[in-house]
Amino acid sequence: MKKKNMKGYFLAFFACMFCFLFGAKVSNAAETYVIGTDITFAPFEFQNSSNEYVGIDIDLLNAIAKDQGFSVKIKAVGFDAAVQQVQAGQLDGMIAGMTITEDRKKAFDFSTPYFDSGIVMAVSKTNKSVKEYSDLKGKTVGAKVGSESADFIQKNKDKYGYKVKLIDTSDTLYQMVQSGNLDAVFDDYPVIGYAIKQGQPLKMVTQKEKGGSYGFAVKKGQNQELLEKFNAGLKKLKTNGEYQKIVNKYVDSNASSSKTVDETTYAGLIKNNYKSLLSGLGKTLGLTFVSFIIATIIGVLLGLFNVSDSKILRFIATFYIDIIRGIPLLVLAMFIFIGLPNLTGIKINEMVAGVVTLSLNAGAYIAEIVRGGIKAVPNGQNEAARSLGLSYGKTMQKIILPQAIKIMIPSFINQFVISLKDTTILSAIGLVELLQTGKIIIARNLQSFKVYLIISVIYIVVITILTKLSNILERRVQKNG
C-alpha cells in the first residue's frame, strides 16, 4: 500500500512539474510577442525623457495588445535591423512607420493600414523667398534616403529645376536647412510637425502631398494569429475613439504636452540623459573588455601558429587572418547577426553577436601583432637556445616571448582603443551602446550637434584615461625587465 502511495505521489509530482514547466512555457510563447521597432522615428516611436518607449506606433501596439489579451516585448533595434530580424525569424513582427509597398508585400504580410502619411515641404523659419514648388528653381532640396519624400523630389526635380541631396536622418536634414546647406526639406508631415513642436526653426509652406500607408508587418506566411489580433484591436480602437486620441497626442499641435526638462541646453541635456549615457558607456566598455579578452586568446594562438614550423598550422593562421581582415567589420556583424540565424535557424542575441564580431575581427589583428613581436626578437637567440638543447616550447616560453611581449604592448594598447571605437559600428545591428544611445536621444529632441559633442567628449575622456593607464603598465613591465 505504501509503495502504491509513493508511486502515486511521484506520478502526481512529475505531472505537476511537467505542466508547470512546459505548460507555462507554451502559454507564454503563445501570448508574448517580440516586436521590433526603430526608436529614432519620432513621433511614431522614440524614447521620452523618462527613458520609456512612446509614440503613435508604440501606444497603438500597447493599446491593441491590452485589448486583445496578449503582451509585447519591444526590441528597439533600428528599422533595417528590424526588417532583417523579422525575415530571419528573430522577431515576431515589427512596427516602425513601415510603408506598405508591393515589393515589401513579397516578403511581409501587412496589417490593415493604421496611418495614412503625407509629404510636406518645409523651409527655414526666416526664409521668405520659398513659398511653393516653383520657387525652388536653382535651389537645393533634401530628403531622407529611401523615403517617399526622396522618391517625390527625384520624380519632380526636372519639372521644378532644383538640385537634390539625400541624407540618412531627419535631424541632419533640419540642421542643414538651418546652416543654409539646404533651401528646403521634404519629409512626412507628422515628423516635421513634431520637429517644429520641439523648437526646430522651420515652417511648413505647402499642403500635404498624398503619401503611403503604414502597416504592422510579420514575416510572410507566419504569425498570422498575431496579424489577426492586431487588425481586430485596431478596428476596435478606431470605433471607440481611442485611436484618434493617440494620434492627436503626438500630431495635433494644439494638444497639451507633458512637462519635460529643457533639452536645448547642455545642462538640460546632461541632467535629463546622464543615466542613459552612462548605461550606453557601460555597455560599450563591457563589450570592449569581454571581446578583447577573447580576441587576445584567439590572436596569441594564431600568432604562435603563424611562426611555428608546421605548414598546416601556418596555413590555418594565414587563412583565418586573410579572411577576417578582408571582410569589413559591418559586413561581418551583419553576417553573424542576420546571416547565421537564416542559415542555422538559431537566434542570436545582439550582444552575443557584437562580442563574436569584435572578437573575431580583433583576433586577426592581434595575431599579426604577436607574429610581428616574435619576429622582432633576433633569430640568433632562438638558434642559440635550440643549440643548447632547449625544446621549441621552452625556447618560446623562456627566451622569445618575454622579449616579444614588451615589443607587443604598445600595439596591444592601440588595438584595444581601436576595438573600443569599433563598437560604434555595432549600432547598425541594434546594439544600444554609447553612439546608439545618443541617436535615440537625438530622435526625441533633435539636438544633434550638442548630443554628438557630449558623446565625443565622453569617448575622448575614456580613451585618454585607458591610454594613460596602459602607458603606466607598459613602463612598469619595461622597468621590471
Q: Taking the CA atoms of 152, 155, 156 and 157 in sequence, report the sign of the dihedral they define.
A: positive
The pLDDT of 97-117, averaged and rounded, is 90
The bridge status of strand 202-204 relative to strand 217-219 is: unpaired
Q: What would the pLDDT profile of 385-411 be if each residue is shown by its tens digit?
A: 888 888 878 888 888 888 888 888 888
Band of the pLDDT at 346, cuts 50, 70, 90?
confident
Judge whether 277 lies within some domain.
yes
Judge whether 130 lies within some domain.
yes
**pLDDT at res. 453:** 93
Contact assessment for residue 318 and residue 337, using Cβ atoms and an 8 Å cutoff:
no
What are the angstrom distances between the C-alpha of 148 and each of 145, 152, 165, 188, 198?
9, 6, 14, 8, 23
Regarding whether 455 and 310 lie in a shared domain, the answer is: yes
CA 230/CA 217 separation, integer angstroms: 10
Regarding whether 306 and 236 lie in a shared domain, the answer is: no
Grid coordinates standing for 358?
569584435
CA 175/CA 177 separation, integer angstroms: 5
Band of the pLDDT at 4, cuts 50, 70, 90?
very low
Judge whether 454 lies within some domain.
yes
Regarding whether 222 and 182 lie in a shared domain, the answer is: no
Judge whether 45 lies within some domain.
yes
Grid coordinates standing for 395?
625556447
CA 438/CA 455 separation, integer angstroms: 7
Tell me the HSE value of 177 on the side-chain side, using a 13 A CA sphere: 30
Regarding whether 221 and 150 lie in a shared domain, the answer is: no
Regarding whether 193 and 136 lie in a shared domain, the answer is: yes
The bridge status of strand 163-167 relative to strand 140-144 is: parallel
Contact assessment for residue 359 and residue 298, using Cβ atoms and an 8 Å cutoff:
yes
**pLDDT at res. 43:** 87
In which domain, by residue range, is 135 found? 119-209
**Among 121, 133, 112, CA closest to 214:** 112
Looking up residue 179, the CATH number of its domain turns out to be: 3.40.190.10
Q: What would the pLDDT profile of 143-193 be if each residue is shown by its tens digit?
A: 887 778 888 999 999 999 999 988 777 777 888 888 888 999 998 888 888
**Among 297, 307, 303, 335, CA closest to 320:** 303
Regarding whether 316 and 220 lie in a shared domain, the answer is: no
Count of structural domains, the chain: 3
Q: Taking the CA atoms of 465, 468, 474 and 479 in sequence, report the sign of the dihedral they define.
A: negative
Contact assessment for residue 229 and residue 68, using Cβ atoms and an 8 Å cutoff:
yes
Band of the pLDDT at 25, cuts 50, 70, 90?
very low
**pLDDT at res. 28:** 46
Band of the pLDDT at 8, cuts 50, 70, 90?
low
Q: What would the pLDDT profile of 55-76 be if each residue is shown by its tens digit?
A: 999 999 999 999 999 999 998 8
In this model, does residue 41 exceed pLDDT 90? no
**pLDDT at res. 2:** 44
Regarding whether 232 and 159 lie in a shared domain, the answer is: no
3-class DSSP string for the chain: CHHHHHHHHHHHHHHHHHHHHHHHHHHHHHHEEEEEECCEECCCEEECCCCCEECHHHHHHHHHHHHHCCEEEEEECCHHHHHHHHHHCCCCEECCCCECCHHHHCCEEECCCCEEEEEEEEEECCCCCCCCHHHHCCCEEEEECCCHHHHHHHHHHHHHCCEEEEECCHHHHHHHHHHCCCCEEEEEHHHHHHHHHCCCCEEECCCCEEEEEECCEEECCCCHHHHHHHHHHHHHHHHHCHHHHHHHHHHCCCCCCCCCCCCCCHHHHHHHHHHHHHHHHHHHHHHHHHHHHHHHHHHHHHHHHHCCCCHHHHHHHHHHHHHHHCCCHHHHHHHHHHHHHHHHCCCCCHHHHHHHHHHHHHHHHHHHHHHHHHHHCCHHHHHHHHHCCCCHHHHHHHHHHHHHHHHHHHHHHHHHHHHHHHHHHHHHHCCCCHHHHHHHHHHHHCCHHHHHHHHHHHHHHHHHHHHHHHHHHHHHHHHCC
Grid coordinates standing for 44?
511614431
Judge whether 90 lies within some domain.
yes
**pLDDT at res. 466:** 85
**pLDDT at res. 230:** 95
Regarding whether 111 and 123 lie in a shared domain, the answer is: no
The bridge status of strand 40-41 relative to strand 202-204 is: unpaired
Regarding whether 169 and 98 lie in a shared domain, the answer is: no
Q: What would the pLDDT profile of 435-474 be if each residue is shown by its tens digit?
A: 888 888 887 777 888 899 999 999 999 999 988 887 887 7
CA 100/CA 111 separation, integer angstroms: 9
**Among 189, 192, 188, 136, CA closest to 164:** 136
Looking up residue 402, the CATH number of its domain turns out to be: 1.10.3720.10
Nearest-Å Rg of the Cα atoms of the chain is 28
CA 125/CA 194 separation, integer angstroms: 15
CA 194/CA 183 separation, integer angstroms: 20
Amino acid at site 428: A
Regarding whether 288 and 395 lie in a shared domain, the answer is: yes
Sheet containing 45-47: which strands, arranged edge to edge?
40-41, 45-47, 53-54
Judge whether 7 lies within some domain.
no
Judge whether 257 lies within some domain.
no
* % pLDDT > 70, the chain: 90
Regarding whether 167 and 142 lie in a shared domain, the answer is: yes
Q: What would the pLDDT profile of 315-329 be if each residue is shown by its tens digit?
A: 999 999 999 999 999
Judge whether 41 lies within some domain.
yes
What are the angstrom distances between the C-alpha of 130 and each of 119, 154, 450?
17, 19, 29
Regarding whether 241 and 172 lie in a shared domain, the answer is: no
